[in-house]
Amino acid sequence: MTHPTNPDARLPNPGLPDPHLPGPASLRTEAVNAAHPDLDQLGTADLVQALLDDQRHAVDAARRAGPALGSAADAALPRLRRGGRLLYAGAGTSGRLGVLDATELTPTFSWPPARAVPLIAGGERAIREAVEGAEDDREDGYAALRGVGAGPDDVLIAVAASGTTPWVLGAMQAARESGTLVIGLANNAGTPVLTGADCAVLLDTGPEIISGSTRLKAGTAQKIALNALSSALMVRLGKVYGNLMVDLKATNAKLEARAVRLVQHATGCEEPRARAALVEAGGQVKTAIVALRLGIPADEARARLDAAGGQARAALDAR
């Protein structure tokens, strides 16, 4: 397939291995873990403990990636402030983790679903079942990213444990041609997902305790990194006041009760007053807090928040 944005370039044949990509033998995530050669002979309690202990490497890898994640957040913020979207691209476990992260932004931070777009190799069916061969189709990854109309204000988070997944690399190529910021998360150093990204985040988890099963600590490290990155972005975008999730979307009884508690905690008021303020604010926690703290109507509180770019602390300080 020849693409109009790059008529002289052809993507690698999706049915053939890309000779430029590192082979499995050079990837640490594919190496045989020498620590537990007799894993299958352990008693159940020892087996579970060994699996849990190995997960600690995921936390260590994510912590080492902290500076890179911070730089990625800083690079993404101006685009999101201009109205850009968070796009996710991954295959298999990595793709499903992207779907999870994108989906949870709406109830947690009232982030519009249209501005968190998860793309997974094999399409929606791949969320629940393996779609064999989908991850090898680089052209389909390219087409998937092109299909959502990515532009220069958007941010692509490309995730692949191997760092070599052709479908993800196709999405990254389309993103670069569209001027989209590319953040690459991978569990192997020096791989194309990292070298081809604007912001590279290495999650070096090493060989899996069940060799090659990157749904284990490689996936855990990705989950931690995605949580940290998207949550940091939401904090910087004014979705949090102090450490309170003041932009949550109360869509069930549990979240409605949480909204009341958040207003009470932030203002020191009693439950009936918090509930009344939320009703007046149309369920918006942040608006209710500003209204109660400043003793003003909800409409005026909302106007103050709009003028402060949605930042509750700035709206409260601008007296």
Average pLDDT, the chain: 92
CATH code of residue 127: 3.40.50.10490
Helices 92-109 and 217-236 cross at an angle (nearest 10°) of 30
Q: Are residues 270 and 199 in the same domain?
A: no
How high is the pLDDT of residue 10?
45
Condensed to tens digits (0 to 9), the pLDDT of residues 175-191 reads 999 999 999 999 999 99
**Mean of pLDDT values over 27-37:** 92
What is the rounded CA–CA span in Å between residue 255 and residue 234? 18
Question: In this structure, are residues 47 and 189 in contact, taking their beta carbons and an 8 Å threshold?
Answer: no
pLDDT of residue 102: 98
pLDDT per position as a tens digit, 293-306: 999 999 999 999 99
Half-sphere exposure of 28 (CA within 13 A, CB side): 14
Residue range of the domain that includes 219: 22-236
Which residues are designated catalytic? 104, 135
The tens digit of pLDDT for each residue in 98-110 reads 999 999 999 999 9
Residue 3 clears pLDDT 90, i.e. is over it: no
Overall average pLDDT of the 110-130 stretch = 94
Burial of 69 (0-12, 13-18, 19+ CB in 10 A): buried
The whole-model pTM stands at: 0.89
* 267 close to 289: Cβ distance less than 8 angstroms: yes
**pLDDT-based confidence at 26, cuts 50/70/90?**
confident
Same domain, 210 and 280: no
On the question of pLDDT at 33 being above 50, the answer is: yes
58 near 44, Cβ under 8 Å?
no
Same domain, 187 and 271: no
Does one domain contain both 34 and 114? Answer: yes
Mean pLDDT of 205-233: 97
232 and 273 together in one domain: no
- The pLDDT, as a whole number, for residue 133 is 87
Given pLDDT bands bounded at 50, 70 and 90, which one contains residue 131?
Answer: confident
Q: Residue 304: inside a domain, yes or no?
A: yes
Between these two residues, 171 and 6, which has the higher pLDDT value? Answer: 171
Q: pLDDT tier at 132 (50, 70, 90 boundaries)?
A: confident
What would the two tokens of residue 141 be?
Answer: 């990854």
Last residue of a domain, one of 169, 204, 236: 236
Burial, 170: exposed, middle or buried (Cβ in 10 Å; 0-12, 13-18, 19+)? buried
Rounded to an integer, what distance in angstroms lies between the CA atom of residue 174 and that of residue 167? 11
How far apart CA 248 and CA 89 sit, in angstroms, is 25
* Whether residues 267 and 219 fall in one domain: no
Cα(214)–Cα(208) distance, integer angstroms: 7
Asked if residue 183 and residue 84 are part of one domain, the reply reads yes
Q: Is 1 or 192 the better-scoring residue by pLDDT?
A: 192
One domain, residues 133 and 86: yes
pLDDT digits (tens, 9 = 90+) for 249-265: 888 999 999 999 999 99
Residue 281 lies in a domain: yes
- Is residue 91 pLDDT above 50, yes or no? yes
